[in-house]
Structure 1
Amino acid sequence: MQVLEQLENRVVGAFDQLGIKFTPSSQRLRDLIRQIRSARTAAEERAVINKECAQIRDSFRAEDNTWRCRNVAKLLYIYMLGYPAHFGRLECLKLIASNRYTDKRIGYLGAMLLLDEKQDVHLLVTQSLKNDLINSNQYIAGLALCTLGSILSTEMSRDLAVDVEKLIKNSNPYLKKKAILCAIRIIRKVPELMEIYVPSVRNLLNEKNHGVLLGAIGLITEMCIRSPDILTHFRKLVPNLVRVLKNLIMSGYSPDHDVSGISDPFLQVRIIRLLRVLGKNDLESSESMNDILAQLVFLTETSTLAGQAILYELSQTLMSLCTTSSTLRVCTNTETTKNAGNSILHETVLTIMDIKSEPALRVLAVNILGRFLLNQDKNIRYVALNTLLRVVHADLSSIQRHRGTIVECLKDPDVSIKRRAMELCFALINRKNIVEMIDELCNFLQTCEPEFKADCSSNMFIAMEKYAPNKKWHVDQMIRILKSAGNNSRDDIVSSFISLISNTSELQLYTMHQLADMIRDDVTQQPLVQVAAWCIGEYGDQFQSSEYEGKKIDEEDIANLLIKILNYNAGLISTRQYAINALIKLTTRFPVLNEHVQSIMSVYGCNMNLDLQQRAVEYHSVLKNYDNLKDGLYEQMQPFEIKQSYIDEIEDDSYENKNEDEILHEKEKQKEEATKALLIIFGEDSSEVTPNSNEEASRMDPLADIFGNTTPAAKPSTSNVLDSFFGSNEPAAHSQSNDILDIFGSSNTQPEPKTVSAKSGLDDFFGMNSASTQNKSDTVSNSDFLDIFGSSQAKPIQNGHGEQLNGKKESMNVYEKNEVKITFEPCANGKGSSPTQHFIQLKAENLSFSNIVRDFIFSAAAPTSMKLQLSQPDKTNLQPFESLSQTIAVANPNKDKLRLRLKLSYRLNDLSIEEPVFVVNIPFFE
């Protein structure tokens, strides 16, 4: 090797002395492949490729045309190995522009691999493609068509669509079939160009070449699927398609097209598929193809793969027709020992369930799926479960007969079958079978994989909330579910179970004894422990006030249960939060525990977790310094409101024997009735609601798209009322509607605050300056003490929420959350406010003891009829108990009602917080 390199260097030197440029020959592609394959390590392979790429770059840089084709071919091989080859794109374009076929072939191959519509370089190929499409050499034109179909973009499609259409009319079958396939790609990219190909495609059905005919059928199918008008146009060609299909069936042996004794099964399948598209929802077309399709049923040999494929397409076509006799014939004459026969029956079932068929046909379809569930093939069982889940609303009563077989599928080792069976079981639950189904699902929950437990437990709770026969059974099953699901249970299960207990006073003692017995032995099931801790904190006094089955638990045992939860090292932080809250609440139920609880709080006052530490310090301070306040602070909570939930797949029992159209019609009717009822409540005439009410409302509220959609302040339209009725998060502008919607728990307005006489004591406890607030009407929302985890949401400010000074509305509380408070006050600002000019002084306060509010940014927006201007704030960081001020100037020339959308952004404890706030009816501008 060294000798050869020395010889090469001498030759190069000799040519240089003579003034002749020496170009060494490029390594052949096969030699490069052999060299790469002989590399023993990845590093050695990279070294070989990097060396070759360097030589290729040098060759491209030297404008060496001799070995360009070979170098591009090697570069494409390197690209297919996963190495970058972007530097060869322009060389591909140069090869495409060459007149040699071999250069064009490598150039077009490189373009298909290295270029796509996302790169602007591909547009440079357009002119070369246009020239090659009209080349007299059919192979060059074929290369151009293949490349166009591979890399075409919207612009390229528009430029070359007419050239492709001319090639479809060409007499050469080789170019014609490639042009048809390219036309399909153009239609998929730019559907509006399909009208160009309609006249030329119609004549293609008379072609004798099967390749051209196969492509033409595909092109017609694509156009019919994408355009109803073209579908109507091509329905006239159903007799022609039937004739072509009949000729295929009746033709003799043709060695060029015969596959297992069937003449061109690929073309037959394509024709049957097109007939299905053309005959769907059209009685005349269906009748014209019924005879040939029935003939196919009896003449097709199902023992071969080709015959099975034809029968599959045939079955789907029969299912799409408007008649039911052919469908029934398919059900009764199909060979079910083959997969093709099973696929036919599967599609037949879908058709029976989709059309308005007779009840007997529906029962037959469900029974077929029931037989599928007994099949040994897992794929067939999965298809059956998936299909039953899709059609469960169409005939629930018939599917209920196969409930036992479906439940058995929960024990299948295949996880896909197990998941589909689980989903179907939830869809089958109703008031009649709730006890049996929950028992089976609980058994499944104990043995299933962890990934199933969360979904299964949540869906079981929803089903029991809807269909539980009695409260005691409901509570027992919830405890059983939490125990079986363990730590895989979601938080919504815990909160929902707590709501159930708070609203079932007669079962609270029973529930607490059950939970106490469980956590006494095992505290590893954290969701169950959280429920137990909450119940003990709220209703712990019931342990001593009454006996249950002769058992009575004293206060020491109760406290020890909570201490056991706190001492569990593997416990969640949220579980310890529940336990600390329960302990502090027990001090009002059992005063003898005060000292014991204080010692526990003093220990947790040094906890590494900031939230636990803060809770412990505050609770310890209340016990030590504000003992007179603890009875009000830690009193028993009111029963929670249980919101009505529902299951998407499970409807009321009245839907069991109705098809989907009837169900949808009934739902729409119920929705309209609810709308009318709410409009009557609001005092609105339903006849005044027009379809354009949403558009009018959006024009009246130009702020609708700044921070997100909201209900306009104008008269509520039908859609707005329904959105609010079904739990929309949109703020309503009428306090009357909010009062009504609050019944359903969907109102976003703040609840009317209740007066708390102990406010001044709390101000002293939190270190606030009471001098600035002593004349105010001190109000504290109920949720301030209940929101121990900081989960309250920013709510829009409505009428009557301004604070009063000396009987006059002079300030407005806009936002109070995360220890940040923002108020609006009138600001004279020189000239003073008027109906056309408003000046507002914004004041932001940090109410925290130790946390610093950083990067405070206040943004505001007003309707387009107004002009808003914000002054620069005097600071952006707020130390504890610091405040900042900012002036808002609003020009209102039309004297419209002042409405503002605010956006607050700040960082607290390295946590970025963004909150939207909606402000209407500012009291001092009314």
Structure 2
Amino acid sequence: MPFCLLQLSDGVCPVNGGTSTMEKEAKKLFSRAKDSLSKAKRTYTCRTLKEVITAYRACTSSAEEKALVKKESAHIRDLFKEGDTAFRRRNVAKLLFFHMNGYPTDFGHMECLRLAASPKFADKRVGVLGLTVLVDERASILMLMTNGLKADLVSEDPAVTALALTVLGDIATPEMLRDLLPELVSHLRARSPYLVKKAALAATRAVRKLPLDETLDIWDALPDMLATRSDAVHLCANTLIVSLVEQDAEDGGRSGEPSPLPGLRSACLPSILQSLRDAVSGGKGQVNADADSSTAGGVRNPFLQVQALAALRELGRGAGQEELRAISDVLVQVATSTDAAKLAGASVLYEMVRTALALDTTEAVQQTAVTALGLFLAHKDTSVRYIALQEMAAVMNRGGACAESVRQQRATILACVQEKDPSIQARAVALAFAIADRSNVAEIAGQLLVYVRSLGGGAPPAEDGDAAASATEGSTESGALVSDAATKLAQLAVQYSPTPEWHVDTLTSVLVSVDMLVSDLVVSTFLAFLSAEPPVVQAYAARALYEAALSSYAGDSSSQPSSPLQRDSGGVPQRQPRLERVAAYVLGEHGHLVVGATDQSGGVGLAPDAVGQALSAVTYASTWSQGEGAFRGGPMEGAVVGAAGATIGEEIGRVRSHALTALVKLAVRTGAPELVESARKATSTLSSSRDVETQQRAVEYHALLEGPLSGVAAAALAPLPPMDYAAARRRLLASGVRRATGTALVTTGLVSLLDGDFMGGGGSVSAVASGSFGGGAPDLMGDGPATDLMALEAPPGGGHGQSTDLMAFGQSTDLVVANPTAGSRGATGPSGDFASSVLDDLLGG
């Protein structure tokens, strides 16, 4: 009692009912402990996966999401460090959710391994799922679970064994597969179809990871698998067969041992054929033959049929006649019993087509396959039509009797050319080109021309920067398709042209429709073709190109809708510079055959005054600072990139030189007063041009018309000799179209008309091309290096590239034609000293 009184001396005795200081302190301590306990509970509360997903979806920004994941990952990491087992499964599930959203989860790999090694199936299932999702097959941590998988593979619980087989099929390394291969093979012969199909998928991975000599036991187990009555086992076994055949093709000859493929074929082929017959006819040979779940789109078990056909395709290569006959019978049964209206039926028929065309089946079976492809072309699904066009192109590449069956589908193929889908269009154009021959070239070329016109020739981009960039990106693919189709049309013309006039009309239509997207190789081959044709065809081409490109300059009311002076909504002249350039070249070389009272064929010729007015107008309109051609700084300058990488502005600059040259040639050759007057006026006017190249050529031509050199004008501007059309034709047919970087489209094997090889290695052209003004003034009659009055290589600012200046070749060869024996001083004609002195004065020498 005295002790108690001593302890309570500071307060009131509790007997009297008062509150002591000690009691207050106790209450404070209890409240403090309660708060600490409550805080600890809040800190280590493990939220469920559902709660975490709900909180994650409630975040309004990526910063909130990152903060939530960071906080939750820290809690999970703390629990892992403490060795928590109560919430390990829940935490691994949350890590899977974080991994799917792109957050790092490396710290949870060992926990997945611990769960996979747990004796509880619930833990093992989550652990296996975490390993297959979070762990890469190259991770060294997988080697730690080899012993655990070995124990699971011999477990009496089928669910546990199935999990182990799933791990082997998903992420097993070659070392794991090599160690566990005996247990895996034993499950291939198990009684449970569930385990057999799991083992078959794991064996497929083993075949892909291990060499052939280590997987021979798997080959031996396949007949037992196919003897079961389970559709699922047959599906997995067919997949395994495809992998085994691929393995044999890769490793069969390395070990020196005989291939096990013939034995596999004889043992498995009858079972595969029987299962396919049962699937097609609705037989009840399988366990789930009447199950509704195995029917899709009216086709019974299409997955099994597709995989069985793939296995037949692999086993059928190298098979005997009896085996091929049995395969052919089943393929015909599949083709006649399957409806291609639904995607499931189309998938089965597609595999049937691939198998029939890949094997050495009978002609009737291959004809059936091509007929099925024709049905695909009328299918409503775009993907089905695409694969039909793709397979038909493969059939045409192989040739044979089936190629003629593909040609019979011409109407349907040409209808696909007008599809809105660009991928379908590209495939249809390529196939239409492949099926063309002399009997149908006119129809196919007509459809391809309609296709080219529908895509357009490449309109100028919008003036707005963003809109222009968007238009450029959107038109790149269209420009590639147009240029490819134009090249194919030119190849059709040189291969299967029924008449030369049809050839001319086709190429003229291509130039009118495409213009800048026609490659230089196509143009040079066309000019070589004209040079080798008789005068009647040359006259026809000159008239056709004049009416298509130049007649509107002369005020001709019969000009085509795409005439050069047609204007767009903004009032900008619509030019077709490549068409005008080719027309000017052809008119300069062959125009004397059609200019005058009658042309070469006896018809009414072109009026000289109209031709002179047209060429003069083109010359003035192609000058940057004059007439209708004030394009500098406008929306058309540099807007369209052609097949050779030239812009409209550069091409228009070349048109000027070609038109001036053509005008002078026609004036000299025809002697028509109207043309002579137009030529004199043009050369006189352009002699003061601000463009140096134009001024130089105008001065030279003026000297040929009126100066001391007028006596040799006819010889200097004589017609070109025929070009080597055979070599040009070979180059065009061997050319392909490829896409370059940016918006430019180039052709492989571009041929420069200045190239000596283009003329078959002729020395005269090489000699002309080797001349230059740098070594002194050229001699017109052959003294010194033979060269042209027009510079073969224009200055960089002149807009004339060596590989694209079509007139440079023509002009350089004129001098060789004028005096083929030239090459030394003393040749016939005016002396070299006289010519040199005159040209020195003209060129400022």
Question: TM-score band (shorter)?
Answer: 0.5 to 0.7
Q: Do the aligned partners of 2:284 and 2:290 also contact (CA within 8 Å) in 1?
A: no
1:127 is aligned to: 144
Q: Which runs of 5+ in 1 are unaligned?
A: 1-6, 287-319, 606-614, 651-726, 730-740, 767-776, 793-926
- Structure 1 745/111 Cα, relative in aligned 2: closer, same or farther at 3 Å? farther
Which whole-Å CA distance do the structure 1 matches of 2:487 and 2:143 have between them? 57
2:577 is matched with which residue: 524, 529, 544?
A: 529
Q: Do the aligned partners of 1:210 and 1:267 also contact (CA within 8 Å) in 2?
A: no
- Structure 1 543/212 Cα, relative in aligned 2: closer, same or farther at 3 Å? closer
1:39 is aligned to: 59
Q: Which runs of 5+ in 2 are unaligned?
A: 1-28, 250-258, 457-474, 553-562, 597-604, 638-647, 666-678, 736-747, 779-783, 795-799, 805-845
**1:25 is paired with a residue of what secondary structure?**
coil
1:465 is aligned to: 494
Q: Do the aligned partners of 2:95 and 2:108 also contact (CA within 8 Å) in 1?
A: yes
Which whole-Å CA distance do the structure 2 matches of 1:782 and 1:60 have between them? 89
Pairs within 5 Å for 1:180-259: 180-192=200-212, 193-206=214-227, 215-227=236-248, 229-238=259-268, 258-259=290-291
Pairs within 5 Å for 1:690-839: 754=767, 762-763=774-775, 785=792, 788-789=800-801, 791=803
Which whole-Å CA distance do the structure 1 matches of 2:172 and 2:69 have between them? 31
- Structure 1 11/35 Cα, relative in aligned 2: closer, same or farther at 3 Å? farther
- Structure 1 542/429 Cα, relative in aligned 2: closer, same or farther at 3 Å? closer
- Does residue 597 of structure 1 match 2:614? no
1:74 is aligned to: 94
Which whole-Å CA distance do the structure 2 matches of 1:202 and 1:24 have between them? 57
Which whole-Å CA distance do the structure 2 matches of 1:231 and 1:365 have between them? 27
TM-superposed deviation, 1:128: 1.4
Matched residue count: 638
Range 28-37 or range 578-587, more displaced = 578-587
TM-superposed deviation, 1:125: 1.1
**1:391 is paired with a residue of what secondary structure?**
helix
TM-superposed deviation, 1:174: 5.4
Q: Do the aligned partners of 1:753 and 1:782 also contact (CA within 8 Å) in 2?
A: no
Q: Do the aligned partners of 2:353 and 2:369 also contact (CA within 8 Å) in 1?
A: yes
2:649 is aligned to: 573
1:558 is aligned to: 615
- Does residue 150 of structure 1 match 2:162? no
**2:686 is paired with a residue of what secondary structure?**
helix
Task: Identify the structure with bigger relative contact order (alpha carbons < 8 Å, sequence gap 6+).
Answer: 2
TM-superposed deviation, 1:86: 4.6
- Structure 1 337/522 Cα, relative in aligned 2: closer, same or farther at 3 Å? closer
TM-superposed deviation, 1:208: 6.7
- Structure 1 410/376 Cα, relative in aligned 2: closer, same or farther at 3 Å? same
Range 196-205 or range 536-545, more displaced = 536-545
1:425 is matched with which residue: 416, 426, 432?
A: 432
- Does residue 435 of structure 1 match 2:430? no
Q: What TM-score, normalized to structure 2?
A: 0.60
| Amino acid in structure 2 at the alignment position of 1:198 | W
Bigger fraction of residues in strand = 1
Which whole-Å CA distance do the structure 2 matches of 1:77 and 1:375 have between them? 41
- Structure 1 71/780 Cα, relative in aligned 2: closer, same or farther at 3 Å? farther
- Does residue 282 of structure 1 match 2:319? yes
Q: Deviations over 1:191-242 (max 9, x none)?
A: 5243242334444445577755654454345324542733211234246667
Q: Deviations over 1:381-423 (max 9, x none)?
A: 6665555444343335455444344434444556555444433
- Structure 1 503/42 Cα, relative in aligned 2: closer, same or farther at 3 Å? farther
- Structure 1 202/562 Cα, relative in aligned 2: closer, same or farther at 3 Å? same
**2:206 is paired with a residue of what secondary structure?**
helix
2:134 is aligned to: 114
Which whole-Å CA distance do the structure 1 matches of 2:85 and 2:695 have between them? 82
- Structure 1 191/751 Cα, relative in aligned 2: closer, same or farther at 3 Å? farther
Q: Do the aligned partners of 2:98 and 2:105 also contact (CA within 8 Å) in 1?
A: yes
Which whole-Å CA distance do the structure 2 matches of 1:444 and 1:259 have between them? 49
Q: Do the aligned partners of 1:282 and 1:322 also contact (CA within 8 Å) in 2?
A: no
Range 21-30 or range 358-367, more displaced = 358-367
Pairs within 5 Å for 1:258-297: 258-260=290-292, 265=301, 269=305, 274=311, 277-278=314-315, 282-283=319-320, 286=323
TM-superposed deviation, 1:160: 4.6
Which whole-Å CA distance do the structure 1 matches of 2:127 and 2:333 have between them? 55
Which whole-Å CA distance do the structure 2 matches of 1:594 and 1:250 have between them? 87
| Amino acid in structure 2 at the alignment position of 1:574 | E
**1:219 is paired with a residue of what secondary structure?**
helix
Which whole-Å CA distance do the structure 2 matches of 1:336 and 1:131 have between them? 49
TM-superposed deviation, 1:152: 3.6
Which whole-Å CA distance do the structure 1 matches of 2:166 and 2:321 have between them? 39
- Does residue 477 of structure 1 match 2:511? no
Q: Deviations over 1:580-622 (max 9, x none)?
A: 543674796545534532443x2x57xxxxxxxxx67987999
- Structure 1 12/425 Cα, relative in aligned 2: closer, same or farther at 3 Å? farther
Which whole-Å CA distance do the structure 1 matches of 2:133 and 2:392 have between them? 44
- Structure 1 521/425 Cα, relative in aligned 2: closer, same or farther at 3 Å? same
| Amino acid in structure 1 at the alignment position of 2:649 | I
Which whole-Å CA distance do the structure 1 matches of 2:193 and 2:439 have between them? 66
Which whole-Å CA distance do the structure 2 matches of 1:599 and 1:781 have between them? 21
- Does residue 517 of structure 1 match 2:554? no
2:395 is matched with which residue: 379, 387, 391?
A: 391
TM-superposed deviation, 1:97: 6.1
Q: Deviations over 1:708-740 (max 9, x none)?
A: xxxxxxxxxxxxxxxxxxx999xxxxxxxxxxx
Which whole-Å CA distance do the structure 1 matches of 2:303 and 2:352 have between them? 22
**2:729 is paired with a residue of what secondary structure?**
coil
Q: Do the aligned partners of 2:313 and 2:355 also contact (CA within 8 Å) in 1?
A: no
Q: Do the aligned partners of 2:769 and 2:792 also contact (CA within 8 Å) in 1?
A: no
1:888 is aligned to: none
Q: Deviations over 1:75-121 (max 9, x none)?
A: 2202212344455446545655666655554443233223334xx5x
Q: Deviations over 1:837-880 (max 9, x none)?
A: xxxxxxxxxxxxxxxxxxxxxxxxxxxxxxxxxxxxxxxxxxxx
Q: Do the aligned partners of 2:177 and 2:206 also contact (CA within 8 Å) in 1?
A: yes
Q: Do the aligned partners of 1:224 and 1:277 also contact (CA within 8 Å) in 2?
A: yes
| Amino acid in structure 1 at the alignment position of 2:260 | I
Q: Do the aligned partners of 1:327 and 1:348 also contact (CA within 8 Å) in 2?
A: yes
| Amino acid in structure 1 at the alignment position of 2:550 | A
| Amino acid in structure 2 at the alignment position of 1:127 | L
| Amino acid in structure 2 at the alignment position of 1:575 | E
Bigger fraction of residues in helix = 2
- Structure 1 440/355 Cα, relative in aligned 2: closer, same or farther at 3 Å? same
- Structure 1 374/638 Cα, relative in aligned 2: closer, same or farther at 3 Å? same
2:781 is aligned to: none
- Structure 1 440/189 Cα, relative in aligned 2: closer, same or farther at 3 Å? same
| Amino acid in structure 1 at the alignment position of 2:686 | V
Q: Do the aligned partners of 2:511 and 2:579 also contact (CA within 8 Å) in 1?
A: no
User: Between the two proteins, what is the percent identity of the paired residues?
Assistant: 23
Q: Do the aligned partners of 2:226 and 2:234 also contact (CA within 8 Å) in 1?
A: yes
| Amino acid in structure 1 at the alignment position of 2:618 | L
2:325 is matched with which residue: 321, 330, 337?
A: 321
